[in-house]
Structure 1
Amino acid sequence: MHPLSPLLSGAKSIVVIVAALSWQTLSQLGTTHFAMLVAILAVGVVIFSVIGWYNTGYQVIGRELRIAEGLIWRRNRAIPLDRLQSVELRRPLLAQLTGLAELRLEVVGGGKTEAPLAYLTVREAGLLRERLLALSARTQAGQSASVAEPAAGAAAVTTAQAPLYRVRNRDLLISQLLTPQAFFLPIGVAWVVTQFVMEGSWTFVGIASTVTAMAGVLLQPIRRVLGDWDFQLGRDRDRRLVLHYGLVETRNQVVPPFRVQTVRVIWPFLWRKARWLNLRLDIAGYSGPEPGDDKNSDRLMPVGDIATARSLVAAVLPGVDLATLATSPPPARARWLHPIGLRFYGAGLTPDVFVTRQGRVTREVSLVPYARLQSVRVVQGPLQRRLGLATVYADTAGGRSGVARDRDLAEAWALAEQLAVRARAARVGGS
């Protein structure tokens, strides 16, 4: 790793430590003693980071990436490149100022980033990413193991040769104002002002705690704006998806199209008047709950209209037209389980993808390519058995499933059989 890596890694840890120390700690210790405590912790963090950097390294041997780390407890990892899903080049603010970058690898079934390599120069990170992706592609194709090194003059960061989409930052800002957090913020401000007037005077700790709580309300929309700022999507010369986005932390990600497990189309309730929606990709290794989780599905279109969404879905899933996907609702007796929102559920089979829809407030449509199906399940709960219903799950390596809820039992088994047949045919055809 680059010699500046300990300083950058230590800086992140110091920020976390300072954030963990509460306002109450500051008021108890005083400014001087608080600063001394932070300084002592900072020195310890930097020393620990230097030791970790000195004992960390990587090698590309054959079709494996091998990473060694640790002093007392040595850890050696061998990552088969045929499991590689995507490689992301990240540049936090300090890395941008020092000309460095962090390389993150996502692999099949990974519960977290398998191999964060922090930090390399931008050129070294770009060249290493191209080499790993080339090895992964050749492993998938069963070609020769010899992979030529990228040319010395190759670009450090892959750039899109064919741009597909670029977000309008104005739309991005407005879309985040149309969120529940933004709508409830005036109520929160009014409550704080009322409390201040009634109390007459507040302590420093009380004011600081209130400001911290209000900042927490705004954190999610602000983080989304900063994260999706100047979002760009395109294809490189090898037809891979190239995503570039971020303001404080820039991220450049390369995703081979055959790694995409699911495309999700989401209509938030407050966006419908503007006729906006967003698209997300589920990639193996990125599964996880969205709020506050870095291991979530990745964005394909942060905000846009239906025409743009149709073109992007067709680019990622050739032959799929978002405007012509048909679904059928569950039988009428399923209303006992969904007395209000039954008509918002549906499922359908198209020539290329399994389509499901759900959600009354926030509507969502999931598109699962048959070739990405790993298993098919038919599940019945106690109430479903009494009503003769069942739910069909189409599982992918991305961790999410296409879900056809509360279908007639005979229809559910027929749907599961069709999914299994089409999945086998798609994999045979793709090979």
Structure 2
Amino acid sequence: MTSPAHPPEPATGAATPVPRTPDPAPVPGAPPAGGPLMIARQRLHPLSPVLKSVRTLIIVIAAVSWRGLQNLGTKNYALAVLGLLVLVLLYSAVAWRFTGYEVIGRELRIHEGVLFRRTRAVPLERLQSIEVVQPVLARLAGLAELRLDVAGAAKSEAPLAFLPLAEATALRGRLLALTARTPAAVPASAETAGEPAAEQPDEPDLHRVDDNDVVVSQFLTPPVMFTPLAVLYIVGQLMLNSDFGIFAIASMATAVAGTIGAPVMRILNFWNFRLGRTDDGRLRIRHGLLETRSQLVAPQRIQSLTVTWPLLWRGKGWLRVTLAVAGQNSAVNADGQRSRAETDRLLPVATLETARALVPLAVPGIDIGALPLSPVPARAAWLAPLRHRVLAAGLTDAGFAAVDGLTTRQLTVVPYARIQSVRVVQGPWQRRLDLATVYVDVAGATPAAAVHRTIAEAFGWAGELTERARAARQEV
């Protein structure tokens, strides 16, 4: 028996007063009752200008390099660096005064600018992932930077640098919760309070990458292997050429350091790499030695997955797994500089058995060791005489898969729900051989390609991919 929608009228017909429940006390910084969800405008940490100034100064010194020291002299060089530090510090302090963020409804608003004020409105539905980054100096102060990866953006949307680590972690959890839930489903007590909610405890790590494997894998790269020749050249010039000055040696040493810089940066970046999973199914990726990173990625935000077998790694049976998340590939740091850290790794180095166990967490239903792939026809050897034995592609139950690459072999997998468009392209030589290439486009990533397929197969796959993509999006 259900209760009536309205209370029954009194039998006597007299007016009966209805007791009124008192309105709850307003929460400071909260919206009116029935209004949109809100986080009141917050400023960044007061130490943010100092940290930004130091990082910017390091970039300026690196840009001036040895040539500037040679031209200016030690004293003038030190005075120039000190003056730049003061100017950058003053500018950063003024910029901090006008920088802040707030959440209104399902929209994050970021305020910034000194001479020209800007307000960026980021719809939470477009958030692909949010990364908590702790550079070295920020870690010493207990601070962190929040980087937002947004679909369709060329770079991170105004990174929030810097916040206390607990506040940054809690804000990330709250924003990610809002991306997947309707406003009515979010508890008002957790979303309208002035202070950030505490993050739930993390689940145990599912996999940890051996740091020794990270070091060995990065030294098994061509730049590192040819570095001893460059060092021998410098030593030879120093011994045989008396005019070989200190600044020439320093410049060549800088060039050598730049050659091996990328592998060393990857070692520092992928150190202590851990992969886990949260209660709501998101991937939790943590790594870094000097600069630590913590990232949460929802599987439904992954556009494609790439498994790569470098030539020098095959002897040890190693591979790496990369994720394509829209808006992530062009991330920049708080200074507006493009980040050198690679944040798209699901596994920086792993064996095939490990990858087969963990890849389904990112793309369910995919077993990279047992994909139903078909090779290209024999006549494709006229267009790809060396690669034709490697080329393969196929339609699996969960997505489209294609293999390419002779020295560095790559397997690309695109879930059907992430397909944006399908193209069939035929070049002049392909027309003569009755071949074509099928391109599968995804948001913010390189298209997957089934190269040199027969005409009938190419158009058949294009039609089937379109139907499967439509059906997968309807299910989602």
In the superposition, the TM-score normalised over structure 1's length comes to: 0.94
**Displacement, 1:218?**
0.6
Code of the aligned partner of 2:447? S
* Separation (CA, whole Å) in 2 of partners of 1:143 and 1:311: 37
* Separation (CA, whole Å) in 1 of partners of 2:280 and 2:186: 19
Secondary structure of the 2:453 match is strand
Cα 1:159–1:230 change in 2 (3 A) is farther
1:78 paired with 2:121, answer: yes
1:300 paired with 2:346, answer: yes
Aligned counterpart, 1:182? 224
**Displacement, 1:145?**
6.0
Q: Which has the larger radius of gyration?
A: 2
Code of the aligned partner of 2:371? L
Counterparts of 1:99-110 in structure 2, within 5 Å, are 99-110=142-153
Secondary structure of the 1:59 match is strand
- Aligned equivalent of 2:272, options 230, 234, 238: 230
Cα 1:410–1:423 change in 2 (3 A) is same
* Separation (CA, whole Å) in 2 of partners of 1:116 and 1:25: 31
1:89 paired with 2:89, answer: no
Structure richer in helix, relative to its length: 1
| Residues 63 and 145 in structure 1, CA contact (< 8 A), matched pair in contact too | no
Aligned counterpart, 1:2? 45
Q: Which runs of 5+ in 2 are unaligned?
A: 1-43, 332-337
- Aligned equivalent of 1:286, options 322, 328, 332: 328
Secondary structure of the 1:394 match is strand
Aligned counterpart, 1:199? 241
1:56 paired with 2:99, answer: yes
Code of the aligned partner of 2:286? H
Secondary structure of the 1:323 match is coil
**Displacement, 1:51?**
1.1
**Displacement, 1:346?**
1.1
Code of the aligned partner of 2:362? V
In the superposition, the TM-score normalised over structure 2's length comes to: 0.85
Counterparts of 1:275-424 in structure 2, within 5 Å, are 275-287=317-329, 294=340, 298-424=344-470
**Displacement, 1:286?**
2.0
Code of the aligned partner of 2:173? E
Cα 1:20–1:153 change in 2 (3 A) is closer
* Separation (CA, whole Å) in 1 of partners of 2:104 and 2:132: 21
* Separation (CA, whole Å) in 1 of partners of 2:361 and 2:172: 23
**Displacement, 1:147?**
5.2
Say how many residue pairs are matched: 425
Secondary structure of the 1:324 match is coil
| Segment of structure 1 superposing worse, 1-10 or 322-331 | 322-331
Aligned counterpart, 1:208? 250
Code of the aligned partner of 1:259? R
1:7-48 Cα distance to aligned partner (Å, 9 max, x none): 011111100110110312211211111000000111111111
Secondary structure of the 1:197 match is helix
Cα 1:190–1:12 change in 2 (3 A) is same
**Displacement, 1:326?**
2.3
Cα 1:168–1:159 change in 2 (3 A) is farther
**Displacement, 1:382?**
2.3
Counterparts of 1:83-162 in structure 2, within 5 Å, are 83-139=126-182, 144=185, 148-149=189-190, 155=198, 160-162=202-204
Secondary structure of the 1:176 match is helix
1:330-376 Cα distance to aligned partner (Å, 9 max, x none): 22222221111111111101111111000010001011111111111
| Segment of structure 1 superposing worse, 85-94 or 405-414 | 405-414
* Separation (CA, whole Å) in 1 of partners of 2:329 and 2:430: 28
* Separation (CA, whole Å) in 1 of partners of 2:343 and 2:449: 17
Counterparts of 1:162-177 in structure 2, within 5 Å, are 162-177=204-219
| Residues 130 and 148 in structure 2, CA contact (< 8 A), matched pair in contact too | yes
* Separation (CA, whole Å) in 2 of partners of 1:420 and 1:159: 41
| Residues 83 and 108 in structure 1, CA contact (< 8 A), matched pair in contact too | yes
1:89-130 Cα distance to aligned partner (Å, 9 max, x none): 000001001110000111111110013001100111111111
Code of the aligned partner of 1:183? M
Secondary structure of the 1:377 match is strand
| Residues 288 and 297 in structure 1, CA contact (< 8 A), matched pair in contact too | no
* Separation (CA, whole Å) in 2 of partners of 1:148 and 1:407: 57
Secondary structure of the 2:46 match is coil
1:66-111 Cα distance to aligned partner (Å, 9 max, x none): 0111122111111000001001000000100111000011111111
* Separation (CA, whole Å) in 2 of partners of 1:383 and 1:162: 54
1:28 paired with 2:53, answer: no
**Displacement, 1:177?**
1.3
Code of the aligned partner of 2:472? A
Q: Which runs of 5+ in 1 are unaligned?
A: none
* Separation (CA, whole Å) in 2 of partners of 1:297 and 1:329: 32
| Residues 171 and 196 in structure 2, CA contact (< 8 A), matched pair in contact too | no
Code of the aligned partner of 1:196? L
Misfit runs of 4+, over 3 Å: 142-148, 150-156, 292-297
Cα 1:143–1:374 change in 2 (3 A) is farther
Aligned counterpart, 2:310? 268
Supply the RMSD in Å over aligned alpha carbons. Answer: 2.0
| Residues 84 and 106 in structure 1, CA contact (< 8 A), matched pair in contact too | yes
Cα 1:296–1:391 change in 2 (3 A) is farther
**Displacement, 1:57?**
1.0
Code of the aligned partner of 2:240? M
* Separation (CA, whole Å) in 1 of partners of 2:298 and 2:184: 17
* Separation (CA, whole Å) in 1 of partners of 2:341 and 2:216: 26
Paired-residue identity, %: 48
Cα 1:250–1:22 change in 2 (3 A) is same
Cα 1:148–1:396 change in 2 (3 A) is farther
| Residues 266 and 279 in structure 1, CA contact (< 8 A), matched pair in contact too | yes
* Separation (CA, whole Å) in 1 of partners of 2:119 and 2:339: 26
* Separation (CA, whole Å) in 1 of partners of 2:399 and 2:341: 25
| Residues 131 and 146 in structure 2, CA contact (< 8 A), matched pair in contact too | yes
